Chains A and B, each alone.
Chain A
């Protein structure tokens, strides 16, 4: 089986930095993804980590430690439009199917 945990909700202020954590236990690990999902819309790809370390992409960075079963998504210079759910997902097995966490709902306040 697999288990993916992330906080249910977070609140942050416009212009600030927020870190969303994800811990997981799984077999057949083929990488960890972060997606953004606005209400009623599809998940949108943000980042992909398959090796340990930090991946940076503009205002978004993602970190992975496979030995600790831990990842985080870092969002800098928060904007109001960053209010959304952030989904941590594990790619598993030879099919690379994605197993999603329940998502973290981020509210950015002025």
Chain B
């Protein structure tokens, strides 16, 4: 069964550094998302992407965040200058056409 994949599984970085989190959504899906979950808190929506552009973003998704679909398969989240409070699990998700979203296994980001 097709799955959403994410790399790396764990990323440790210094405050102020840039990180890129990578996702490969399920191949025939049209909608792509990033969510984050700070330890012990609820899953929060960051951004949705459809037809090669951002369709919606949350208040969390400020200028330090960006997303790209550089080719037909990868979907990336870049954090330009990481802060301590960016430490969280970051989940990528995709859905075929406005119904069930399938989540990747997540990337645990630790900012020191």
Contact = CB atoms under 8 A, between A and B. Distances in A.
Interface string A23-54: 00000001101010000011111001000000
B100 A100 contact: no
Interface in A53-110: 87, 89, 91, 93-103
B interface bracket (residues with beta carbon within 8 Å of A): 20 to 34
B48 A95 contact: yes
A96 B48 contact: yes
Contacts of A45: 100-103
Contacts of A43: 43, 91, 103
A42 B42 contact: no
A102 B31 contact: no
Given A42-B106, A95-B56, A101 B42 contact: yes
Interface of B: 31, 33, 35, 41-45, 48, 50, 55-56, 91, 93, 95, 98-106
20 contacts: A30-B98, A33-B100, A35-B103, A41-B105, A42-B106, A43-B103, A93-B56, A94-B55, A96-B31, A96-B48, A96-B95, A96-B99, A97-B33, A97-B48, A98-B35, A98-B43, A98-B93, A100-B42, A101-B42, A102-B42
